[in-house]
A and B are shown apart, each in its own frame.
Chain A
Amino acid sequence: MSDTVVHSGHAAPTSLAERPEHSSDSPLSIHAMTVAYQRKPVLWDVDYDAPANALVAVVGPNGAGKSTLIKAALGLVPRASGLVEFWGEPYKRVRDRVAYVPQRESVDWTFPVSALDVVCMGRYRRVGWLRPVGRAHKKVALECLDRVGLADLAHRQISQLSGGQQQRVFLARALAQEGDLYVMDEPFAGVDAATERAIVALLRELREAGKTAIVVHHDLQTVPEYFDHALLLNMRVVAAGPVNEVFTRENLHKTYGGKLTLLSEAAEAVARSGLKVR
């Protein structure tokens, strides 16, 4: 008996037949991933393939599981079920190519290190066990700090930086990892205008360089301006694809429910950016 592939877009995988392997071009493929805290599921049967060389926004309402999605994909929170692959390989084999920017609150900013020290941490994998961070690595780290506009503050202790500057230090650290995929958890949360501009410029730079960035984002309005792909998430994947295809009234409604002002603002933003709303 031959296995046939049946697709219909809901809950459990719909075919008993094995799915064709996801494309190994995709920097991040998530198959049937379920994550639960205690008994409550946070993510249910998420299937997603991130496109290569794109800026992807992960958007959805509070509690939709945006941060959980990327943390579970990186193995930082346990998955109840599901498989995650990066370029068709398990995470362990391609760690070098994935750079993660956690939320700013995840570390203690009074820790006795300088901004440059933190960025150097992004080089540790290349430095390896036991060896000290050499001059060449420090130089790369300094360049990364320069790219986020903080070269002057390299030797400041990190608690003496503003929130936005701290966020940029984290970005510089991810740059220093020289990965091909950048996974960022709310980099725009609570930052000043200068930092926001710096992050956007950086994202574009990454795209120019052929990299992919997957960014958890909370501001619907700026999605069309900053990103080319979007993943609408609300426990499940509501829609995913190029922003102009995904940002439809129906999809946004499915994701956010009846918060109309928010939706019309987002739709306006799409209109402003010259994309067509279907």
Chain B
Amino acid sequence: MTLTPTGDLFPLLAAVLAALCCGLLGNFLVLRRLSLMGDAMSHSVLPGLVIAFMLTGSRTAPVMFLGATLAGVATVVLVELIKRLGRVESGAAMGVVFSVLFALGVLFIERAARNTDLDANCVLHGQLESLVWWDGPASWSGVAISGLVEAAPPQIWTLTITCGLTIALVVALYKELRLAAFDPALATAQGFSATLLHYVLMIFVAGATVAAFEAVGSILVIAMLIVPAATARLLTDRLAPQLLVSVAVAIAAAAMGYMGSIAVPHAFNKPEVNAAGSMAIMLGVLLSLAAVFGPRYGVLATATRRSRMARRIELDDLLGRLYRQEEAETATVPAPRRAIKRARRRGLVAPDRLALTDDGRARAAALVRRHRLWEAYLVDRAGLAADHVHDPAENLEHLPEALPPEMGETDPHGRPIPPI
């Protein structure tokens, strides 16, 4: 059966919506160091779904949601209980709870719910393909809004409602959730019960997990919850931008992952691969890009900053040494050739011999001034011994923005402090 161009609309929409609500909620998990609660939740929602199904024989959204939410709350309560009673850290407590619950879910699926479409494999990678619009119009021009509304499978509506509620929650309780994540004690003290907010958040995470279950299965939800927020955390310093970036990352990864799972294998004349897994891979790619190229916290940026600082310190040391050499008229001191070359290029050291130019002398004087001011300050105010202040001063002199107050005309060793 060939697919019309509009056939992918609903799976794609489902993937994007699932990523959106998981990605948004994941921020609060990552910030509260509860990422693994997402892990636990995504595993332990399974028995909730299965038991709800077994009890009611229905796979309608409200039943599934109720079952999963109860399982989610049970997870949180059980983890808390085992943490307290079993005297273990929360990671281990979560491990105990979710593995047992997941095992229960798998057993029930295998033994009782076998004859339904709820099978153990869709737990792993979702069933986006079941949303494909087989009898959709042949081209986009034939698509009408009313037709879309009519054709949309129920899963799309579930996801839309979940997303809407999640966004509403985060917008309405933005300030409360932020406070509870940053300082639960203050939140409680101010009358915003941190425990209540925690449970509200967890219920939403459970809900998002169920909604996303159709799209990505129950294991890959963890990637959807954690990776967008983690990526955003590497790129931003404020919560609101972090939320926006995480949502953008989630949507981009979902869309690119879904389309890539079809387009890339097709380019090699192979059938498409699993879409949910591809989305997880896309998330991994985006995270790696942020980790390497992030403007402030990326590996490259950090390395560049560090090497620039190292070079500046090298240069400063050379200038300082030459200045002191001029002062004391001692013999030449060895210096790394790289630093000398750089100093000459900037016109700080004379091109023909190892001596300061006027520019170089001015900069060196400022440097030596900072050094000696610090020495004087440390002896006078911090009460350090005169022979212990060289090293700290050596570190402080490289920070032009930190300058101690005026300390007289000589340093503790009796050498003059160069005037400005």
Partner of B175, one of A95, A98, A132: A132
A100 lies within 8 A of chain B by Cβ: yes
B178, B190, B191, B236 pick with most chain A CB within 10 angstroms: B190
A124 lies within 8 A of chain B by Cβ: yes
Contact at A112–B190, with CB atoms within 8 Å? no
Partner of A100, one of B186, B237, B238: B186
Task: Tell me the complex Cα distance, A120–B381, Å.
Answer: 36
Task: Tell me the complex Cα distance, A107–B182, Å.
Answer: 6
**Complex interface bits, B76-96 against A, C-beta within 8 A gives 1, otherwise 0:** 000000000000000000000
A154 lies within 8 A of chain B by Cβ: no
**Complex interface bits, A113-146 against B, C-beta within 8 A gives 1, otherwise 0:** 1100110010011010110110000000000000
Contact at B173–A112, with CB atoms within 8 Å? no
Known contacts A106-B185, A107-B182, A125-B191: does B238 contact A157 (CB below 8 Å)? yes
Report the contact-size class of chain A (Cβ under 8 Å from the partner).
Answer: 20 to 34
B34 lies within 8 A of chain A by Cβ: no
B267 lies within 8 A of chain A by Cβ: no
Contact at B172–A130, with CB atoms within 8 Å? yes
Known contacts A112-B238, A127-B175: does B189 contact A74 (CB below 8 Å)? yes
Contact at B181–A111, with CB atoms within 8 Å? yes
B239 lies within 8 A of chain A by Cβ: yes
Known contacts A112-B238, A124-B175, A125-B191: does B182 contact A102 (CB below 8 Å)? no
B182-200 residues with Cβ-Cβ distance < 8 A to A are 182-183, 185-187, 189-192
Known contacts A95-B191, A130-B173: does B186 contact A121 (CB below 8 Å)? yes
Contact at B178–A113, with CB atoms within 8 Å? yes
**Complex interface bits, A80-106 against B, C-beta within 8 A gives 1, otherwise 0:** 000000000000000100101010001
Task: Tell me the complex Cα distance, A95–B173, Å.
Answer: 21
Contact at B175–A102, with CB atoms within 8 Å? no
Partner of A112, one of B187, B191, B239: B239
Known contacts A112-B31, A130-B172: does B191 contact A107 (CB below 8 Å)? no
Chain A residues with CB under 8 Å of B186's CB are: 100, 102, 121, 173
Contact at A111–B185, with CB atoms within 8 Å? no
Chain B residues with CB under 8 Å of A106's CB are: 183, 185
Contact at B239–A113, with CB atoms within 8 Å? yes
Chain A residues with CB under 8 Å of B181's CB are: 111
B137-177 residues with Cβ-Cβ distance < 8 A to A are 172-176
Task: Tell me the complex Cα distance, A107–B178, Å.
Answer: 13
A16 lies within 8 A of chain B by Cβ: no
Chain B residues with CB under 8 Å of A127's CB are: 175
B172, B187, B189, B192 pick with most chain A CB within 10 angstroms: B189
A108 lies within 8 A of chain B by Cβ: yes
Known contacts A112-B233, A112-B237, A130-B173: does B190 contact A125 (CB below 8 Å)? yes
B179 lies within 8 A of chain A by Cβ: yes
Chain A residues with CB under 8 Å of B242's CB are: 112
In the complex, how many angstroms separate the beta carbon of B188 from the nearest chain A beta carbon?
A: 8
Contact at B175–A133, with CB atoms within 8 Å? yes
In the complex, how many angstroms separate the beta carbon of A136 from the nearest chain B beta carbon?
A: 15
In the complex, how many angstroms separate the beta carbon of A62 from the nearest chain B beta carbon?
A: 22
Contact at B31–A129, with CB atoms within 8 Å? no
In the complex, how many angstroms separate the beta carbon of A212 from the nearest chain B beta carbon?
A: 17
Contact at A100–B185, with CB atoms within 8 Å? yes
A147-205 residues with Cβ-Cβ distance < 8 A to B are 157, 173, 193
Contact at A114–B238, with CB atoms within 8 Å? yes
A11 lies within 8 A of chain B by Cβ: no
In the complex, how many angstroms separate the beta carbon of A218 from the nearest chain B beta carbon?
A: 19
Partner of B179, one of A121, A130, A157: A121
A12 lies within 8 A of chain B by Cβ: no
A112, A113, A157 pick with most chain B CB within 10 angstroms: A112
Residue of A nearest to B185 (CB): A76
Known contacts A121-B179, A133-B175: does B236 contact A112 (CB below 8 Å)? yes
Task: Tell me the complex Cα distance, A22–B404, Å.
Answer: 51
6 closest A-B pairs (Cβ-Cβ)?
A: A125-B190, A157-B237, A112-B239, A111-B182, A107-B183, A112-B238
A-B contacts, 7 of them at CB < 8 A, read A74-B189, A106-B185, A117-B178, A121-B186, A127-B175, A129-B192, A133-B175
Interface residues of B (CB under 8 A from A): 31, 33, 172-176, 178-179, 181-183, 185-187, 189-192, 233, 236-239, 242, 381
Interface contacts beyond A113-B182, A121-B186, A157-B237: sample of 9 additional A-B pairs, CB < 8 Å, sorted by A: A95-B191, A100-B186, A106-B183, A112-B236, A113-B178, A117-B178, A117-B238, A121-B183, A124-B176
